[in-house]
């Protein structure tokens, strides 16, 4: 597919209609979020676009120039460019890059009372991950996203959901927010969107998206024919191979296997948590030594939140691979 598209047209300016890009926008709007799409090259770019759109919507469309505050969450992660870094609630990523954007407030994740207290007439938007991946596979309490959306709507703030890590089927639904009876105003995607070809996307409801007019935001390479063709193919594969259901089933199997491993290896482990194929094994100590030893034995994992071993395998992973991974990890935990 990539070779075929590259032989036809791999890049042209966004001044012109790009057939593959239009088809991709239509395909994404047939999922659980109907809106307009802006395409870029990465998750951090998608979040930059979302922050800009939220502020412009409040100032230009609603005529509220004092609504500039962005509320973000402690332990959240949204990217490493300046705007996305400004709403990333982890000091280790922010250190040495100040001063960052003003008018950003961090509140505890999962605390509905903090949301009700801090979303005010000055709030342009709240940006959140449905599940904090980089921060430690932190899941909010049931109903939290619904309450977050309710408070934002009631007080005139926009809700941005960063689905860069949780989207495109990772948690067993195309968007993680589908498990809640709510919809954000803006949603961002990247990671698996184009199957490894650089691509990010920001989708917004039509009323919010119309705050952007030609010239207010742009990307030279975003949504180019090659990346758009790759993302379209991913949409096809998700449907034809029933990947969402497979991810849900494999994720349940992985989560159960991790819970059993955690119980067996106490007190070195505290438990397991996650959803779909985004899972974490919570350790009593640092996760880095465990991840390093697992890598030596052919198991690729990562660290989240310092003491959490993060699992984010391919959506096509099978039970045999999961069993093999558990055996390797069990052996590592017996030695550390």
For residue 106, what pLDDT is reported?
Answer: 99
| % of the chain with per-residue pLDDT over 70 | 100
Residues 116, 56 share a domain: yes
| Three-class HEC string of 164-178 | CCCCCCCCCCCCHHH
Burial of 219 (0-12, 13-18, 19+ CB in 10 A): middle
Residues 50 and 168 placed together within one structural domain of the fold = yes
pLDDT given at position 47: 99
- pLDDT > 90: what percent of the chain? 94
Given the residues 191, 212, 293, 311, the one annotated as active site: 191
Render pLDDT for 87-135 as a digit per residue (tens, 0 to 9).
999 999 999 999 999 999 999 999 999 999 999 999 999 999 999 999 9
Q: How confident is the model at residue 15 (pLDDT cuts 50, 70, 90)?
A: confident
Among residues 33, 73, 77, 212, the one annotated as catalytic is 77
pLDDT tens-digit profile of 287-303?
A: 999 999 999 999 999 99
Residues 60 and 197 both lie in one domain = yes
Residues 169 and 304 in one domain: no
37 and 93 share one domain: yes
Last residue in a domain, options 207, 240, 273 = 240
Sign of the alpha-carbon dihedral angle for 26, 31, 35, 36: negative
User: Is the domain of 166 the same as that of 249?
Assistant: no
Q: Residue 79: which CATH number?
A: 3.40.640.10
**DSSP calls for 62-128:** S--TT--EEEEETT----SSHHHHHT---HHHHTT--S--SSEEEE-TT-HHHHHHH--TTEEEEEE
Domain boundary among 205, 222, 240: 240
Rounded mean pLDDT, 25-39? 94
Pair 129, 258 in one domain: no
33 carries an active-site annotation: no
- Total domains in the fold of the chain: 2
Structure tokens that stand for 236 in this block: 């096809």
Helix (H) / strand (E) element for 209: namely helix 206-209
Q: Are 152 and 158 in contact (CB under 8 A)?
A: yes
- Label the pairing between strands 308-311 and 302-304: antiparallel
Q: Taking a C-beta distance cutoff of 8 angstroms, is the pair 156, 121 a contact? A: yes
**Residue 316: domain span:** 243-333
The question of whether 174 is a catalytic residue gets the answer no
Q: Find the catalytic residue in 162, 177, 212, 311.
A: 162
Q: Are residues 178 and 191 in the same domain?
A: yes
Reply yes or no on whether 191 is catalytic.
yes
The domain that holds 291 is classified in CATH as 3.90.1150.10
226 & 254 share domain? no
Does residue 49 share a domain with residue 95?
yes
Of the pLDDT bands very low, low, confident and very high (cuts 50, 70, 90), residue 2 is confident
Instruction: Let me know: does 18 contact 12? Beta carbons within 8 Å.
Output: yes
Per-residue pLDDT averaged across 320-335, rounded? 97
Task: Let me know: does 145 contact 170? Beta carbons within 8 Å.
Answer: no
44 with 179, same domain: the answer is: yes
* The pLDDT of residue 5: 85
Q: Which of 181, 209, 240 represents a domain boundary (last residue)?
A: 240
Question: Which of these, 141, 142, 150, 140, lies nearest to 182 by C-alpha position?
Answer: 150
Question: Do 11 and 141 reside in the same domain of the chain?
Answer: yes
């Amino acid at each position: 597919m990539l070779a075929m598209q590259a032989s036809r047209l791999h890049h042209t300016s966004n001044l012109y209609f790009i057939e593959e890009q239009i088809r991709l926008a239509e395909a994404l709007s047939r999922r659980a979020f109907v809106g307009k799409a802006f395409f870029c090259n990465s998750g951090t770019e998608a979040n930059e676009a979302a922050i800009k759109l939220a502020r412009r919507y409040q100032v230009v469309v609603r005529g509220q120039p004092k609504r500039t505050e962005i509320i973000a969450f402690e332990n959240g992660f949204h990217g490493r460019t300046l705007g996305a870094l400004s709403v990333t609630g982890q000091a280790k990523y922010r250190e040495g890059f100040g001063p960052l954007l003003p008018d950003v407030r961090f509140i505890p994740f999962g605390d509905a009372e903090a949301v009700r207290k801090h979303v005010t007439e000055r709030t342009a938007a709240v940006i959140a991950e449905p599940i904090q991946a980089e921060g430690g596979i932190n899941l909010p309490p049931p109903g939290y996203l619904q309450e977050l959306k309710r408070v934002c709507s009631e007080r005139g703030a926009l809700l941005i959901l960063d689905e860069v890590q949780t989207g495109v089927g990772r948690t067993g639904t195309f968007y993680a927010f589908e498990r809640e009876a709510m919809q954000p105003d803006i949603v961002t995607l990247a990671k698996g969107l184009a199957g490894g070809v650089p691509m990010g996307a920001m989708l917004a409801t039509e009323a919010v998206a119309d705050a952007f007019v030609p010239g207010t935001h742009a990307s030279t390479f975003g949504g180019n024919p090659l990346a758009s063709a790759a993302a379209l193919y991913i949409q096809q594969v998700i449907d034809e191979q029933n990947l969402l259901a497979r991810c849900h089933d494999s994720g349940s199997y992985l989560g159960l296997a991790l819970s059993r491993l955690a119980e067996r290896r106490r007190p070195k482990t505290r438990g397991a948590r996650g959803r779909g194929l985004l899972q974490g094994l919570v350790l009593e100590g640092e996760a880095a030594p465990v991840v390093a030893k697992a890598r030596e034995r052919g198991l690729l994992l990562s660290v989240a939140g310092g003491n959490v071993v993060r699992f984010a395998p391919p959506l096509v992973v099978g039970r045999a691979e999961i069993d093999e991974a558990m055996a390797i990890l069990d052996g590592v935990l017996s030695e550390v």
